């Protein structure tokens, strides 16, 4: 898929204020600092569209970006930032869970996982929750340029093994690097195929 246009539409703190659900949308989520903004910018080839984290964990906003006048990328606030208070974390949970369970135009959630790390409990638990709610998701492993392919493969395999305890079918997995544009075509192709349905 060729990205012709990518524009910021709105930021929201309330599910009730989201744009009308008239176009398919794809949400991006992951731990703070996982590389979400960088990956969104790499996908649309527009440096600075999604704001790379100046204040990690502080912004609790759902950002909509309209792509090719036809579908949305939705940038969700990151989870797992240690310095966030319990109240703020609970607020995050309520807000995001409401969005993910209620948004009828949501096609797929891209869960971003840092490819440098062993499986992290917080990521696994989030995937289990998506599965429980029957929300379609795919895994995007980030920052693959940071280490050799063998380490990435080992971490990806370990994560999938963990998910295998819960899921009969492991979701689509794509290894990415915003830095090297790795996986970009695959992610866009995946979206194109879902949009066809
Ligand atoms: P976010 O908080 O998930 O939106 O993460 P950011 O996109 O702001 O990235 C966090 C940090 O990781 C920044 O310093 C980025 O430059 C760096 N980063 C993000 N993606 C990549 C990548 O693919 N490769 C490398 N080497 N660094 C990355």
Q: Which CATH architecture has domain 6-196?
A: 3-Layer(aba) Sandwich (3.40)
Ligand 1: residue whose CA is nearest its atom 15: 35
Report CA(24)–ligand 1 centroid distance (Å): 26
In terms of DSSP bridges, do strands 6-12 and 62-67 run parallel, antiparallel, or are they unpaired?
antiparallel
Supply the pLDDT for residue 156: 98
Domain ranges of the chain: 6-196
Share the mean pLDDT of the chain.
92
Report whether 45 contacts 2 (CB < 8 A). no
* Global ipTM: 0.99
Ligand 1: residue whose CA is nearest its atom 25: 143
Residues with CB under 6 A from ligand 1: 30, 32-38, 52-53, 56, 78, 142-143, 145-146, 177-179
Q: Where are the alpha helices (DSSP H) in 49-183?
A: 86-102, 121-132, 149-164
The per-residue pLDDT for range 88-124, each reduced to its tens digit, is 777 778 889 999 999 999 999 999 999 999 999 999 9
The per-residue pLDDT for range 62-77, each reduced to its tens digit, is 999 999 999 999 999 8
Q: What predicted TM-score, i.e. pTM, was given to this entire model?
A: 0.95
| CA atoms of 41 and 48, how far apart (whole Å) | 7
Supply the pLDDT for residue 163: 95
Supply the pLDDT for residue 95: 85
């Amino acid at each position: 898929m060729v990205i012709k246009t990518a524009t910021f539409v709105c930021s929201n703190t309330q599910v009730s204020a989201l744009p009308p659900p008239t176009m398919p949308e794809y949400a991006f989520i992951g731990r703070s600092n996982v590389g979400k903004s960088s990956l969104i910018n790499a996908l649309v080839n527009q440096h600075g569209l999604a704001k790379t984290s100046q204040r990690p964990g502080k912004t609790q906003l759902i950002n909509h970006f309209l792509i090719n006048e036809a579908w949305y990328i939705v940038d969700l606030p990151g989870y797992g930032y240690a310095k966030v208070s319990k109240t703020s974390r609970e607020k995050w949970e309520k807000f995001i869970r409401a969005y993910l369970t209620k948004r009828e135009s949501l096609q797929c959630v891209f869960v971003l996982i840092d490819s440098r790390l062993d499986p992290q409990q917080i990521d696994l638990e989030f995937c289990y929750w998506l599965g429980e709610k029957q929300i379609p998701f795919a895994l995007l492993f980030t920052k693959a340029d940071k280490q050799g392919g063998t380490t990435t493969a080992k971490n990806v395999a370990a994560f999938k093994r963990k998910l295998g305890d819960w899921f009969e079918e492991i979701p689509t997995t794509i290894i990415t690097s915003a830095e090297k544009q790795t996986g970009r075509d695959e992610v866009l192709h995946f979206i194109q195929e879902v949009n066809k349905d």
